[in-house]
């Protein structure tokens, strides 16, 4: 199991490097695939999908997510992304009203959540990459999530004494959480000094990266726990089987989903303001 997880992690890192360094249409296409897969996993977890054929909720979700990503790539004014979200919600309400009483209000709300939670939040990876210096700042998303996850695991194993969320995730500790934040901050600082300072020399970029990676690390752990809470509520072990040793997209990208929007807005606030 360990070797399977290790090999999958190596493959994921290589794919992330190639995809993000290339950017553009390739990055958008990969993110769209991940978004559609995550939507399917969430709908299945919430028992809103039909194993035999697509239902109305799924069709609106898939079409809406695809349209959202199309606008993300080709629309110059990003306000159209908000329009896409509102249109998706209205489409769900049309379905609710004109097929009543086939769907309950809770199902409509949950389906919209499945669109907004992973698919929309994952799109911020593309939005960060599209910013000035985005090829450098986009890595903060992964430093704040995957590096935090690794450091939290190691520190928790060595020093963990106090439970962070004893009912939801008994193995996670306060010491591990702090270790994850500290590890992300250190790696963020090293990355800034070694790579980014030579490019962005007119700002205190190292301290900015330390702040961004620290805040991102805190948010990423909330994302991890949130995805776990949904699994607990619906009594499933993994969201899917796409990634050997890790599960589905939601299992591997749970922290990235929360971190990406935060990194986008912190970057706008601290670097591009």
Alpha helices in the chain (DSSP H): 2-22, 24-45, 56-74, 79-98, 105-115, 121-130, 134-137, 139-142, 148-159, 174-191, 205-234, 249-252, 254-270
Cα four-point dihedral sign 155, 173, 216, 214: negative
Could you tell me the mean pLDDT of each successive run of 10 residues in the chain, 273 residues long?
67 87 95 96 92 92 98 93 96 97 96 96 96 94 92 91 89 93 96 91 88 95 92 87 79 91 94 77
Q: Which domain range does residue 269 map to? A: 132-273
pLDDT of residue 5: 65
Same domain? For 163 and 49 the reply is: no
* pLDDT of res. 135: 94
How far is residue 93 CA from its own chain's centroid?
26
Nearest-CA neighbor of 228 among 165, 139, 174?
165
pLDDT of residue 2: 52
CB 43 within 8 A of CB 61: yes
CB-CB contact of 217 with 180 (8 Å): yes
Say if 226 falls within a structural domain. yes
**Number of folded domains in the chain?**
2
Decide which of 78, 112, 130 is a domain's last residue. 130
In this predicted structure, what is the pLDDT of residue 35?
Answer: 97
Tokens of 47: 């028992």
150 occurs within a structural domain: yes
Same-domain check for residues 140 and 247: yes
Which of 86, 102, 130 finishes a domain? 130
Structure tokens at 138: 């986009």
Residues 138 and 272 in one domain: yes
Among 107, 7, 98, 91, which residue's Cα sits nearest to residue 47?
A: 107
Residues 26 and 109 in one domain: yes
Instruction: Report yes or no on 261 lying in a domain.
Output: yes
Rg (CA), the chain: 19
Q: Is 165 among the domain residues?
A: yes
Q: Please check whether residue 227 is in contact with residue 210, taking contact to mean a CB–CB distance below 8 angstroms.
A: no
């Amino acid at each position: 199991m360990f070797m399977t997880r290790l090999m999958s992690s190596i493959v994921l890192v290589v794919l992330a490097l190639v995809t993000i360094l290339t950017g553009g249409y390739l990055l958008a296409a990969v993110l769209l695939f991940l978004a559609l897969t995550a939507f399917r996993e969430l709908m299945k977890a919430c028992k809103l999908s039909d194993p035999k054929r697509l239902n109305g909720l799924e069709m609106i979700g898939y079409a809406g997510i695809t349209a959202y990503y199309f606008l993300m790539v080709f629309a110059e004014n990003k306000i159209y992304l908000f329009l896409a979200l509102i249109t998706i919600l209205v489409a769900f309400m049309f379905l609710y009203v004109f097929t009543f009483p086939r769907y309950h209000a809770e199902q409509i709300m949950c389906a919209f959540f499945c669109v907004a939670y992973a698919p929309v939040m994952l799109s911020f990876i593309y939005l960060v990459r599209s910013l000035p210096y985005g090829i450098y700042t986009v890595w903060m998303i992964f430093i704040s999530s995957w590096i935090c996850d690794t450091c939290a695991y190691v520190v928790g194993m060595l020093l963990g004494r106090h439970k962070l969320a004893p009912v939801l995730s008994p193995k996670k500790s306060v010491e591990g959480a702090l270790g994850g934040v500290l590890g992300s901050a250190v790696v963020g600082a090293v990355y800034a000094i070694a790579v980014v300072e030579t490019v962005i020399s007119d700002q205190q970029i190292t301290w900015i990266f330390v702040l961004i990676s620290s805040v991102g690390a805190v948010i990423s752990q909330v994302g991890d726990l949130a995805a776990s809470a949904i699994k607990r509520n619906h009594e499933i072990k993994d969201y899917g089987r796409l990634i050997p040793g890790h599960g589905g997209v939601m299992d591997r990208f749970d922290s990235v989903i929360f971190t990406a929007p935060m990194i986008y807005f912190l970057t706008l606030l601290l670097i591009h303001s």
